[in-house]
Amino acid sequence: MTTKKTIYIIRHGETDYNKQGVIQGRGIDSSLNEMGQHQALQFYRAYHHIGFDIIYTSELKRTHQSVDVFLKAGYKHQVLSELNEIGWGIFEGLKGDSESKRAYQSIINDWSSGLLDRCVEGGESPNSVLKRQKVGLKKILSTNDSKILICMHGRALKIFLCLLTDTPLSRMNQFYHQNLTLYQLEYDGQKFQVIKENCTKHLWI
CA distance 148 to 7: 5
CA distance 124 to 45: 35
**Residue-range domains of the chain with CATH:** 5-204 (3.40.50.1240)
Is a pLDDT exceeding 70 seen at residue 58? yes
Q: What is the pLDDT of residue 2?
A: 63
Read off the pLDDT of residues 82-113 as tens digits, 9 standing for 90 and up: 999 999 999 999 886 777 788 889 999 999 99
Q: What is the pLDDT of residue 3?
A: 81
Q: Look at residues 205, 72, 79 and name the one whose alpha carbon lies nearest to residue 150.
A: 79
Q: What is the pLDDT of residue 139?
A: 97
Q: What is the pLDDT of residue 71?
A: 98
DSSP 38-67: HHHHHHHHHHGGG--SEEEE-SSHHHHHHT
